[in-house]
Structure 1
Amino acid sequence: MDDSSNSTPAEQLNNKVTGEEQLDYDKRVAADKGKQIRTPWMREGSDQPPVARQRSAGAMTKGKLLTTPSRMLKLILPLTTMDANSDRKDVEPLALLVHPSQPLSYLERLIQSELPTIKKGDKEKVPNVYFRAEDSNQEMEESDNAGSKKTPVHEHGAAPTEEDDAEFEASDEIKIDGKLEKTGKLNQKTPEEAKALRGGKGQGGVESYSGLGREAPTTGEEERKFVRWSSSTEIGDFIRDAARGQEFAVEIEGAPNDIRVGVPSFNDRTYYLRMRLRNTSGKISKMADVKKECDAIAHRGAQRVAMGGFGILCGWWYLVYRLTFETDLGWDVMEPVTYLVGLSTVIGAYIWFLYHNREVSYQSAMKFTISKRQGKLYALKGFDLRKWETLIEDGNALRAEIKKVASEYDVEWDELEDEKDKKVTEALKKDRVKKEKNGGGDKKDKKDDEDED
């Protein structure tokens, strides 16, 4: 049998490590660790001390306030914590979802929950968070405005570049049925008109909202005045007032600088609403042609039925006339006949209206005839009436929400620019008028319809 180490059992081998072997092993481990530290593909930037790291080109230094399809507001903040490396700017942003009706105190607590405590004397405390918006009266140099805080214009508050404009314009377009559609146009007041309405120092005036937000042109002032808002203010009201400027500030106690957040404009706040309205309008436009054709045929059919009834009455009158005056029956026979026929007709009509649970009127009979004919034509043409009613209801709901935001921003929203088709606008208006007649409409919608007329 072979006595080599390969055939010897493991328990009989010499497992003692010599000093030379241990020294060689330590040298190899140290060399491998040194390679790992110096090799960039093993750990990028590990051969540089933390305080000498280069700034990230894509670092986020300004917050964003975005809208979501669920009508919530998504606030993205680059929270900066206490760090000895003040040169590093690759901060991981924090995303927070809030509702416009929630107060600023709720947003304040969300931010505080993500911040470390700060030392104030011998105690640790949660840092306070303040929200500041641009003062609308900053053009008037008032000496009694001691509570306002002057802060320099943020480096990102300059006029947007052509690349930024192109990016925003591209994001404000969407393809619907293969066509590239643009958003609705806004009719805002010019800066000169707004300044004239505001009035001069010591004069009364009206402050107008532009609705432009971050899209507003830079005023070119060297510094802006920001005022602190109460934490009990609703987020939606705060954003509406901050929309006069381009950004608002989030100040965190203990932080070296405040965080500037771009204010969403009317286009930003209603982007998803208008895109959904366009999508809904496209579906309504396709179904409107089929419905219009079926309704026209049904109305013509009902008119023919009405004319046929008129012809029957004329024929009955002529028959009674001939039998009464040109035959031997005379009036003595025809009088009870006409009475019984007329009474039978009234009784039959009353039973018909009672059976169908309808008002006794010509209009009710016409509506019943038209609706029966429409139902048959819809089934023949493959028109889904429930889907149509759902689309109309959704379209009016989206329109009402956009109108509400437009009133908050004090802008004029061109409805036809987003609905894209006049027949869609007429269909939505017809449904609103119908609900108003039935007592389920809104007074504000009625006022809007009167203004459009």
Structure 2
Amino acid sequence: MRLANRRKYKQERRKLLTTPSRLLKLILPLTTLDKNSDRKDIEPLALLVHPQQPLSYLERLIQSELPMITAKDGHTEKVPAVHFRAQDSTQDEITADHRKEIDEDVEEGTDEQMVDGKIMKLGKISSSKDKSISQKDKEQIRNDLRGGPGEGGVESYSGSGREQSSEGEVKFVRWSSSTEIGDFIRDAARGKEFAVEIEGSSREIRVGVPSFNDRTHYLRVRLRKKSRKLADYAKIKKECDDLAHRGARHLAMGGLGLLVSWWVGTFFLTFLTPIGWDTMEPVTYFAGLSTIILGYLWFLYHNREVSYRAALNLTVSRRQRTLYQAKGFDLQKWEAVIEEANALRKEIKNIADEYDVDWDEKADEGSEEVHDALKAERKKTKRKEKEDEGEEAEEDERDEEDKEKRKDD
């Protein structure tokens, strides 16, 4: 029992954890110069690294905590070498040089990927029969995609990491020290653990690989907090927006009624009264000219063309601001939380792409209103970026034209 508890303690001291600061915390049991025989007093060593730092940086951190070892000549001392090994993706490679023929529907598929431990087909797949593929056929398809000895192939990834089930004996391959830590962890996530091999040590150190859920835990927690804030704001905002749009529609209907009244009045005075067309003609002329002048003044004041949409948006925005103030809704705070939530979503999406997993963003965003609000803000940002790019392109064209004119002069 005591031995089992000690083994469990040793296992708990070998971890790779994610932190709220987006760094990775590696905990290793390393011995120093005391050379304790029963290894009771070995304190775990915590190392903070960034995913974009190379493995050589982590190697130097570990070496700085290790005692010197005797070189092969038996006289000089040197720093022990440290190597990092992850699961070998070619351990399942087939021995034959020719690939087994598979069903027509699989042959026409363009690609297959490992997603959450399951094989997913990508691309166009056409088949005259609807067949279920056995586990043996799935393994053969995966091996065929990777290729045989001396052949190219397609690598498969999984974001399960330490969460996936054991598959028996696992072979490891040593990685270059120039590899980024994030890339190494992403590839190692196909297995449950990776190994840290220290020169002179009798056994390598196995460390559990963080899965996609582990890597994004704090990010998803923060996204859920932001989503809860947005959900409270979204109810107030939706209520104010609905009232503002309803008021704008009423105003638009009032404008339509005014135009109809003007038309009916002009018709009545022109054809049904002694006033006649001779008097009404200059009245209608000046009314039309006044409308044009007012429209031009609108353009000068608001710096936008006169249109129904522009007038409606202006009316709605003014009404919205009034309702926001009345309801105590802080628009700037809403926009700031929206921006932060979209930034977190983008970061989680990038990690999901690295792990090749499908992330259900709606589950972390909480409600449909929050999801729609974030999506609308992203569309608005993209539209603004396109407009800015168009303006920059026009400015560049004008600058080039000015340069050509100067050259001609």
Task: Report if the CA contact (8 A) 1:194-1:208 is conserved.
Answer: no
CA distance in 2, matches of 1:290, 1:70: 32
In the superposition, relative to structure 1, how do residues 59 and 102 fare at CA in structure 2: closer, same or farther (>3 Å)? same
CA contact (8 A) 1:132 1:226 kept: yes
- Structure 1 CA distance, aligned partners of 2:359 and 2:271? 71
Choose from 95, 98, 123 the match for 2:76.
123
The residue aligned with 1:77 is 28
Do the aligned partners of 1:60 and 1:90 also contact (CA within 8 Å) in 2?
no
What pairs with 1:23-422 in structure 2 (closer than 5 Å)? 59-61=9-11, 63-120=14-71, 121=73, 122-140=75-93, 187-189=116-118, 193=138, 196-199=141-144, 201=148, 205-221=153-169, 224-422=170-368
In 2, Cα distance between equivalents of 1:136 and 1:386: 50
Q: CA deviation at 1:241?
A: 0.5
Structure with bigger gyration radius:
1
Contact 2:116–2:160 (CA under 8 A) maintained in structure 1: no
Following TM superposition, by how much is the alpha carbon of 1:440 offset from its aligned partner in structure 2, in angstroms? 5.7
- How far apart in 1 are the matches of 2:55 and 2:41? 27
Q: Is the 8 A contact 1:198 1:207 kept in 2?
A: no
CA contact (8 A) 1:249 1:261 kept: yes
Q: % of aligned pairs identical?
A: 62
Counterpart contact for 1:59–1:89, Cα < 8 Å: no
Structure 1 residue 197: deviation in Å? 2.3
Whichever residue aligns with residue 305 of structure 2, its letter is E
TM-score in terms of structure 1 length: 0.71
- How many aligned residue pairs are there? 345
CA distance in 2, matches of 1:230, 1:57: 30
One-letter identity of the residue aligned with 1:137: T
Aligned partners of 2:299 and 2:306 also within 8 Å: yes
Q: Which runs of 5+ in 1 are unaligned?
A: 1-54, 144-185, 442-453
The whole-number CA distance in structure 1 between the counterparts of 2:77 and 2:302 is 77
How many Å apart are 1:125 and its aligned residue?
A: 1.9
1:243-274: CA deviation from partner (whole Å, max 9, x where unpaired) = 01111111112222221111000110010111
For 1:136, the aligned partner's letter is: S
Of residues 407, 419, 424 in structure 1, which corresponds to 2:370? 424
Task: Letter of the 1:213 partner, please give it.
Answer: G
Partners of 2:8 and 2:194 lie apart in 1 by: 22
After superposition, the Cα gap between the structure-2 partners of 1:402 and 1:195, relative to the gap in structure 1 and judged at 3 Å, is farther
Return the offset for 1:116.
2.3
Map Cα deviations across residues 118-143 of structure 1 (whole Å, 9 max, x no partner). 22233222221111111012133769
CA RMSD across the alignment: 2.5
One-letter code aligned to 1:85: N
Structure 1 residue 194: deviation in Å?
Answer: 5.8
Preserved CA contact (<8 Å) 1:60 1:89? no
- Judge conservation of contact 2:94–2:143 (CA < 8 Å) in 1: no
Residue by residue over 1:180-211, the C-alpha shift from the partner in whole angstroms, topping out at 9 and shown as x without a partner, is: xxxxxx85416764663232745765332121
Which residue number corresponds to residue 162 of structure 1? none
8 A contact 2:240–2:324 mirrored in 1: yes
1:15-38 deviations in Å (ceiling 9; x for gaps): xxxxxxxxxxxxxxxxxxxxxxxx
2:398 counterpart residue number? none
Instruction: State which drifts further: 187-196 or 278-287.
Output: 187-196
**TM-score between both structures, scaled by the size of structure 2:** 0.78
Comparing 345-354 and 66-75, the one that deviates more: 345-354
Which deviations, in whole Å up to 9, do the C-alpha atoms of 1:292-339 show, x marking residues without a partner?
111111111111111111111111112222222223322122111111
When you count helix as a share of all residues, which structure comes out higher? 2
Q: Secondary structure at the match of 2:118?
A: coil
Give the gaps of 5 or more residues in structure 2. 97-114, 120-134, 388-409
Cα distance in 2 for residues equivalent to 1:435 and 1:268:
30
1:159 corresponds to which residue?
A: none
Q: Distance in 1 between matches of 2:360 and 2:160?
A: 15
